[in-house]
Structure 1
Amino acid sequence: MNATQPEPWPPGNPAVNLPRFYAFQFLTNLQLWLPIWVLYLRDLRGLSLAQIAAMEALFWLVIVAAEMPTGAIADRWGRKLSLLLGAASNALAVLIFGVATGYALLLLSYLVWGISMTLTSGANTAFVYDTLAALGREREFTKVWGRAQAWMMAAGLLASLAGAPLAAVTNLAVPVQASVLSSVAAAAVGLGFREPPRLGSAARLAYGKVLRMAAQHALRHPPTRAMIAVTTVFGAATTATFILTQPYLVDVGVPLALLGLVLAPVQLASLTGSLTAHRLAARMGERHAFYLVCMLYSLALLALGAAVSVWAIALLLALRWSGAARLPLASDAITRHAPQELRATVASAASLAVGLGTALTQYPLGLLADRTSVRAVFLVLGAGTAVLGGAALAWWSAAMRREQAALEPQAPLTTRAP
């Protein structure tokens, strides 16, 4: 096969990948433990916030170690295979998490979970982008990826509404154990995926070469390098807020049975952010859209740190909307610049950077929450994302301007007649 000719599709309609991927996203994220998992670890398993943060740090260190090797699996042997392995290992991780009674087994569940996440990340964006490219619709990536994120948020919304009441009438372990079923169902849906066609040379790159070339692209392409920095800052902050939201709500007086009801509009705000990101970019331009959502995110964190009332929950809407809107914008900014044969591995490089930043920050932030308050951590995160995230955004914006200027045709030099 010629290196520039695409591989043929498997028999059948390639467009079925999109609705099946939406279902995959929904089922993977229909995790009934979402509204109570920190309380499950703290109140049922007896862990402190610092211990929970330490497990999160381990989780992200696993991601740092495995992200690019597993991303290269998707580039070398197929996006579908990587997604299936990710779904199967996710089901195993949830099972261990739900039956573990000691710290060692909980750590094991986090280890398996980290590997599961790396098998899925990178492969998922490459799978969607390559499907759209083969259909001649790659310009729709931000919109389609936003929809996929919205299905993920919808699953979180449903899980929030059902998980907390289920825990209230049974115990905190039941929602975790019941979530194994949806993880298994996600793997079953993944069996129906059709591997997107790639250039003939893409499938023949050696595994080690995929890793080397992807690392070189991520390090040497200035807009990609800068956007990875933006993603790292806000990604690490997002993980911390995810851990601390439940204790924050309990601290301001929300009872366990109502946690899901309170979190439902927050999940709905996330869903809306994912769905509207492409419209925001189309109306304002990519650069201004990034500045808007990142500035709103930092301001919401600062306000949460200053607020002491239950009505501060409204600020979580702004926080989750802006965080969700950033994700498809960042995924598009990284994915569209990556060569097709390296797409999954380059996306994994971004996740690796987020994992490293998260691993380094979660335990200190957990200690700060234990020794001071959750609100103090929100203040630190707000200031950090404003300063570091703002600097990274300015770096990315300058890199994009330089790249666009280099691509613009130069006006021919003229000489004035004597």
Structure 2
Amino acid sequence: MSNHFETQAIRMQTERSQFSEHSTPLYLTSSFTFDDAEDMRASFAEEKEKNLYSRFSNPNTTEFINKVVAMEGAEAGYAFATGMAAVFSTFGALLKAGDHIVSCRSIFGSTHSLFTKFLPKWNIETSYFKVNETDKIESLIQPNTKILYAETPTNPAVDILDLKVLGDLAKKHNLLLVIDNCFATPYLQKPIKFGADIVIHSATKLMDGQGRVLGGIAVGKTDLIREIYLFSRNTGPAMSPFNAWVLSKSLETLAVRVEKHCENALAVAEFLENHPKVKLVKYPFLTSHPQYEIAKKQMLLGGNIVAFEVKGGVKEGRAFLNAITMCSLSANLGDTRTIVTHPASTTHSKLSVEDRLEVGITDGLVRCSVGLENVQDIISDLKQALSVI
């Protein structure tokens, strides 16, 4: 098998059945049969590798996992029903009561809720550092710190954290480095190269790329994935075979899709940066991005998310969204369709102004997930919507 990304994505598939199918079929079965009592005993004792029950494994989920493992340069993986199931199961499996997390504050809202509302029920606490304060991480590390966590690029302000710095710190203090690589995908960025132990994705986003199914995956070191597998085998957040089949097929076009997403996003970012009603634009491969040099060092291209601030505030941000005609107003991202969101009045509206500003969400911030439409049509829609504010 070639080690080229695109070839692996297309040619790595489940062994063909007696029907010699060209494309992997769906295995919509809840369980699997055994030849005899000894075969069943040995399979459950894990003396042989065999599918037992689709909550544990299934040919479709195995194919999807194997592809992502190869793409990320990992050793093993497990697939989940959603991205947040992957996040929760990773922490649930690897932490115990009394453990401590050090995390970047700029993380997905549901992950923040997990850290602040739910994990404390089990006496697991989290200390936060800001994106531009990685020099303060060491001061937050405690004797019971187990995991260093970050997502990069961040959601929704598209800030970049230096993966090498995080990897070096994790190694120095014997911490597990867990990275959410959802915005970049393994095509643009491979955190394991910089020292990550576990890499998490919401496969719902660019991995699917067409807004069809939910999914999540965690890949990394074999011994850690084994713990995550055992936790998940018993708690039940497994990915469905159908979603795994869809996502495995989606990975076949990931490289070509992401390249076009990035090409369109850069053009949109450059347009916005020169618009008189736009106060600020953040896109990792714009030279004006505060972490541009870091992004160029660890990412192949800049991704498909552009964050920009319209002049004014919440009122102007809402007016901009109301004037959109072609682009979609949705909470998703990484779709073929361009999506615009105003976090201050929607996804992060329940946070205080101070909390929003702490993670870079100003009242006028707009997150644009740039799709695959003709880029001039995307720009024309944004241009006419900006003209009303």
So what's the TM-score if we normalise by structure 2?
0.29
Q: Bigger relative contact order, structure 1 or 2, given CA contacts below 8 A and separation 6+?
A: 1
Specify which structure has the higher proportion of helix.
1
So what's the TM-score if we normalise by structure 1?
0.28
Specify which structure has the higher proportion of strand.
2
